[in-house]
Amino acid sequence: MNESRLISFLAIDLGASSGRAILGTIRNSKLELKEVNRFVNPIIDVNDRLYWDLFHLYSEILKSLKYIQHQGIEIESIGIDTWGVDFVSFGKDGEPLRMPYCYRDTHTFPAPKKFFDKILSKKETYLKTGIQIMNFNSLFQLFTQQEDNNPVYPITDKFLFMPDALSYLLTNKMVTEYTIASTSQLLNPFTRSFDEELLCTLNISKENFAPIVFPGTQIGTLSESAQKQTNLGAIPVIAVAGHDTASAVIATPAENGNFAYLSSGTWSLMGIESKEPVVNEETYSLNFTNEGGADGSIRLLKNICGMWLIEQCRKEWAKEKDISYDDIVLEATQSEPFKCFINPDAPCFTSPESMIDEIQNYCRQTRQFVPQSVGEIARCIYESLAFRYKQVLENLKGLAGFPIETLHIIGGGSQNNMLNRFTANAIGITVIAGPSEATAIGNILLQAKAFGLAADKNDMREMVRNSVNLVRFEPQDTNLWNKHYNKYSDVSNKL
């Protein structure tokens, strides 16, 4: 590391419910973080279609940059990461044709079956892309637009994924960052380029996408318009790992390669790092995904419905009384264990009108105890998540070419010590929790690497270990958890 001077970077980290601007400063081989802006990222419902507000997000990024300028803070660069799969359609004049659809929009629910019946079989689609079949993948969003004769579809010149679209608004330069594109189910994981046969079935081509670049590439500098609005100079905008999970995984504080990670947030993403894609009959049957890693590796992982369950329940509970996540954990701690379980990935939990009602209905239909109180429902969710993690980890152990000795839990969910403890007990190996800000840290460190301040991911991970406090959880009561896992396995397969 070059430590001759203090160096700062700005990470724009956008999640599916909120966004943050995080200032990262490198000092004595340690990274110091400061949140300079936090803002909501609302899903906008217009006539039963769900959208993201692109210009709201852009205005909040500008607001963050104005704060930097007002405080007299010097930054070397800016990097943007977001959730995966969603994209913006741009016309030939470079203008967005409409606001981007949200991946939770219900119009894509029937798309996979229609695509497999009409275009390409499920198995062929998977073997081409190595991506987990999920209705909201970019492939099925585009297919839905084509099937619906969406008027914007045939006049779209460029599709830009969310971080690339926002970087374009800042720089007036278009790129397709590799890790975010890898979530789309449009890339060949071996060639790391768009699959032309798949694009042809959608009546589009590679020319409908900007050139693919890899993490660490400079996209451009702030445009004259952005400079004028922020009173900043021509600050570089770096293509970090545009997919938030890819940025988070590069910040996993692992000391060696014998680990699995769990990026815990609205979604839980559990996986391993692989040198090459793992696309075969087994990964197809298990519906595992091969996404691009920030360092060129493959993130072999499974998407699991995560804190979405608790987040949606909390919204309902909050209508009656103010309740924090700490309050929810406390009530769960005080509730009787192992009373009932759900499959967190059951389709009924994707976008229900009432998450509480769906959980209760699930338990009722599987002839279990029906939870009523906050503590009972939360305990059901947390124990079920821990058992789902065990289920997926067992599959990963069979796919990994190395022993998995540790599970690193990163992201916001790593602060939930109750769930961390449950997870260690369920999986029977050491859990190391932290950092909670893994995505922003990975974003910042990839910018630092672009400026020659880190040689590789080992350098970056050493800096993470030097910079954050990690919490270790050793498994306890494993026989008891194994006993109840059998009941979870039984009820999780019923609906």
**Contact by Cβ (8 Å): 310, 381:** yes
Question: pLDDT value at position 494?
Answer: 78
Reported as a single tens digit per residue, the pLDDT across 376-388 is: 999 999 999 999 9
Reported as a single tens digit per residue, the pLDDT across 346-392 is: 999 988 999 999 999 999 999 999 999 999 999 999 999 999 999 99
Residue 396's pLDDT band (boundaries 50, 70, 90)? very high
Instruction: For residue 88, give the nearest of 74, 102, 104 by alpha carbon.
Output: 102
Question: pLDDT value at position 487?
Answer: 95
**What is the overall mean pLDDT for the chain?**
96
For residue 163, count CB atoms less than 10 angstroms from its CB and return exposed for 0-12, middle for 13-18, buried for 19 or more.
buried
Place of tokens 């890339």: 187
177, 103, 374, 318 alpha-carbon torsion, rounded to 10°: 100
Provide CB contacts within 8 A for 17, sequence distance 6+.
Answer: 40, 41, 266, 311
Taking the C-alpha atoms of residue 221 and residue 170, their distance in angstroms, rounded to an integer, is 8
For residue 135, count CB atoms less than 10 angstroms from its CB and return exposed for 0-12, middle for 13-18, buried for 19 or more.
buried
For residue 1, count CB atoms less than 10 angstroms from its CB and return exposed for 0-12, middle for 13-18, buried for 19 or more.
middle
Reported as a single tens digit per residue, the pLDDT across 116-174 is: 999 999 999 999 999 999 999 999 999 999 999 999 999 999 999 999 999 999 999 99
**pLDDT reading at 3 higher than 80:** no
How far is C-alpha 65 from the chain's CA centre? 24
Residue 6's pLDDT band (boundaries 50, 70, 90)? confident
**pLDDT reading at 29 higher than 90:** no
Give the catalytic positions in this structure.
244
**What are all long-range contacts of 492-495, with beta carbons under 8 Å and residues at least 24 apart?**
492/341, 492/342, 492/343, 492/346, 492/384, 492/387, 492/388, 492/391, 493/343, 494/365, 494/366, 495/343, 495/346, 495/348, 495/362, 495/365, 495/366
Question: pLDDT value at position 352?
Answer: 93
**pLDDT reading at 27 higher than 90:** no
Residue 1's pLDDT band (boundaries 50, 70, 90)? very low
Taking the C-alpha atoms of residue 34 and residue 97, their distance in angstroms, rounded to an integer, is 35
Instruction: For residue 441, give the nearest of 161, 252, 300 by alpha carbon.
Output: 252
Kindly state the percentage of the chain with pLDDT values over 90.
96
Reported as a single tens digit per residue, the pLDDT across 210-262 is: 999 999 999 999 999 999 999 999 999 999 999 999 999 999 999 999 999 99
Question: pLDDT value at position 103?
Answer: 96
4 vs 322, more confident: 322
Reported as a single tens digit per residue, the pLDDT across 98-122 is: 999 999 999 999 999 999 999 999 9
Residue 4's pLDDT band (boundaries 50, 70, 90)? low
86-117 burial code (b ≥16 CB/10 A, e <16) = bbbbbeeeeebbebbbbbebebbeebbeebee
The whole-number average pLDDT for the span 427-449 is: 97
**Contact by Cβ (8 Å): 359, 381:** yes
H or E element that contains 67: helix 54-70
- Residue 22: strand pairing partners: 11, 35
**pLDDT reading at 398 higher than 50:** yes
The whole-number average pLDDT for the span 391-414 is: 96
